[in-house]
Amino acid sequence: MTLELFLLSAAGLFAIGLYGALSQQSIVMLMMGLELMLNGVILAAAAFWYFLAPAGTEGQVLIVVVVTAMAIEMAAGFAVATAIYRARQVDMTDGAADLKG
């Protein structure tokens, strides 16, 4: 077990999630991409805690924050999806491009 292995898998998860968040048209799939990016952040935080600073608890606290952020992202994302679907029957990101500048 090395720090590099963990960080490389975390970077892989982050990049795949970024690809999904940028390329998916469906709002639900876009959120899956965001979740995958945060999944990578969890892995990186755990690896940094274990391999660099195991004496402190900051790495663990960061994981708690990220897990909470995932829950909030899901709840808020689905609430926004519900609101925009109710108002305009939009379920694709391309249907909600009003603010595109």
At closest approach, how far in Å is the CB of 60 from another protein?
5
Site for another protein, rule CB under 8 A: 1, 3-9, 11-20, 22-29, 32-33, 35-36, 39, 42-43, 46-47, 49-57, 60-61, 63-65, 67-68, 70-72, 74-76, 78-83, 85-86, 91-94
31, with CB counted inside 10 A (0-12, 13-18, 19+), is buried
Nearer to another protein, 93 or 98 (CB): 93
Query: Which SS3 state, helix, strand or coil, does residue 86 take?
Result: helix
